[in-house]
Amino acid sequence: VRQKFSEQFEEQWGRKEVPGWQTPTMELPLYCRPTDKVFLSEGPRESHMQGKKYKKALIEFTKLSHEEQEKQAEASQAHDKELAEAEFLVNAYKEILEDVVERTVAFHHKKQSRTAEELEEENRISDDEDDQQAAKAVGDAERDSEDEEDDQPIYNPLNLPLGFDGRPIPFWLYKLHGLGQEFKCEICGNFSYWGRRAFERHFMEWRHAFGMRCLRIPNTTHFKEITKIEDAIKLYEKLKKDAEGKTFKDEQELECEDSQGNVMNLRAFEDLRRQGLL
């Protein structure tokens, strides 16, 4: 199975069709090559390029020969491929084990919704496990009767979730946790989450994070409660504009003073200087 997935990855990588990795890191518009950093927006990138650390790294980078720069590029591409293959394999295995994973997650969600009394009952059952195993070794007649009782269908007309004992949880507990309330998330591929707690928790889980990565949007707290793709994109554009507005602009905000004491911005100063009026 691993070999088959690796072959599929190599084919998609060769055609640049691996999701999220169609563009190499070094070709991203917000990538800074001298310091090997990727930024979320143009504002932090511009601020970084004005710092001493970047200028020092730029000097070192310009000293590299063409062959050394090519080696750096090859190393970056190899690192991209390594990360992309790991993500590809995780998603491939996830598709195979999706039913098992979802049942496991659902089981743990049910465990987390237990009351203190139910948890104490589970601990008591765990302590008496040996005695229970011995009790199962009774006569054939008793075992047959118990098996028949266990095989009887569970009466669950409201289709309530099952508890740790395999029986429907109490209806009041079902209403308390809002497990009948459905929340859909378009970013997660219209996946449904049952209950407010599961919905709030999913924003930091892998499914939502992967959807945000596919949209090329950072999964930060700004986007909590955002489930629509269009809303996420609009909010991301607004955040980028706000960040750009806070970026220091030399031509508009840097002030200069001429020999007569007149203060003006850098652009006006340069215009007057080129015209020979200073």
- Is the entire prediction scored with pTM above 0.85? no
Assess whether pLDDT exceeds 80 at residue 83: yes
- The last residue of a domain, from among 71, 98, 125: 98
For residues 1-10, give the mean pLDDT: 85
110 lies in the same domain as 205: yes
Q: Is residue 217 part of a domain?
A: yes
The span from the CA of 194 to the CA of 196, in Å, is: 7
**Mean confidence (pLDDT) of the chain:** 80
Radius of gyration of the chain (CA): 30
Strand partners, 192: 184
Q: Is residue 189 part of a domain?
A: yes
226 lies in the same domain as 262: no
pLDDT in tens, 61-74: 888 888 888 888 88
93 lies in the same domain as 180: no
Q: Locate 143 and state its tokens.
A: 């075992």
Domain that holds residue 205: 106-114+162-247
Q: Is residue 133 part of a domain?
A: no
Q: Is residue 40 part of a domain?
A: yes
Q: Is residue 128 part of a domain?
A: no
227 lies in the same domain as 110: yes
Q: Is residue 144 part of a domain?
A: no
30 lies in the same domain as 72: yes
Task: Give me the number of domains the chain comprises.
Answer: 3
For residues 4-21, give the mean pLDDT: 85
Query: For residue 252, what pLDDT is reported?
Result: 61
Query: For residue 197, what pLDDT is reported?
Result: 85
Decide: residue 122, CB within 10 A, 0-12 exposed, 13-18 middle, 19+ buried.
middle
- Residue of 253, 272, 215, 196 whose CA lies nearest to 40: 215
Q: Is residue 79 part of a domain?
A: yes
The span from the CA of 161 to the CA of 153, in Å, is: 15
The residue with tokens 């040996």 is 130
For residues 26-32, give the mean pLDDT: 83
For residues 51-61, give the mean pLDDT: 87
Please give the helix or strand (H or E) that residue 192 lies within, else none. strand 191-194
Q: Locate 247 and state its tokens.
A: 């970026």
Q: Is residue 82 part of a domain?
A: yes
**Which pLDDT band, with edges at 50, 70 and 90, does 228 fall under?**
very high
258 lies in the same domain as 215: no
- The last residue of a domain, from among 70, 98, 126: 98
**Which pLDDT band, with edges at 50, 70 and 90, does 191 fall under?**
very high
110 lies in the same domain as 199: yes
110 lies in the same domain as 204: yes
51 lies in the same domain as 183: no
Length of the chain: 278
